[in-house]
Amino acid sequence: MRPREFDHDDVLRIAFDQFWRKGVRGTSLSDIARDAGVQRGSLYNAFGSKEALFLQAYERYAGDYLVALQKALGAGSLRKRLTAFFDLTITNFRSGSPPRGCPTTRGLMELGAAEGEGLDEEARQAFANLVSRITALVQETLAAGAARGEFNGNAAAAALHIITVTRGLAVLERAFGDEPQLRKIAAHTIDLVLGKKGG
């Protein structure tokens, strides 16, 4: 068998970077091939389709992201944990180098707009999975906080509420790109869930 002339993971990293910065729709396999110094056909041979390539890149991203969130949610008081969680989320929206103007182009990555990005069922699923896992993480954190008396309420409902706000922030970021505003909303959400700062 003939050996591959490129590194599978390198391509995945290069592709992810472009998807992240320019959106899935805005990135062609020709772009990725050029950047990776690979023939377009070779990518089709190795990955099958643009969507398959995207899914692999996305899974890697999702894994890394979950680890980072877990870390953010694992230190200090419940309020500190949630603050770190929102901080990381918002920072994540704006990481990478935005190609044009203020609002960055994150395509499906933060919005799960699979169809809009020309992707299909599987991509939607992948996003839904990530959201579910993040929700579970937040819920565990709230439950632990409740055990320590830092929170009393329905952990499941509160986690769902928080994740919803998170997704809403992603939309607002795209529409307005106003980071300070996003942090205010996040702080307000924490206050609502945990009770005003005093409590």
Which residues of this protein are in contact with DNA, per CB under 7 A?
Answer: 1-6, 27-31, 38-42, 44-46, 48-51
Residue 101 as a binder of a second copy (CB under 8 A): the answer is yes
Among 105, 137, 141, 151, binds a second copy (CB under 8 A): 105
Count of residues touching a second copy (by CB under 8 A): 46
Q: Do 68 and 90 touch, CB atoms closer than 8 A?
A: no
Residue 193 as a binder of a second copy (CB under 8 A): the answer is yes
What residues have CB less than 8 Å from 13, skipping those under 6 apart? Answer: 57
Question: Which CA distances in Å does 18 have to 54, 81, 87, 97, 196?
Answer: 10, 31, 24, 10, 41
Residue 184 as a binder of a second copy (CB under 8 A): the answer is yes
Q: Which does 102 bind (CB under 5 to 8 A by kind): a second copy, DNA, none?
A: none
Among 13, 40, 133, 174, binds a second copy (CB under 8 A): 174
Q: Residue 106 burial by CB count (10 A; 0-12/13-18/19+): exposed, middle or buried?
A: buried
**Structure tokens belonging to residue 47:** 């990955």
Site for a second copy in 7-36 (CB under 8 A): 23-26
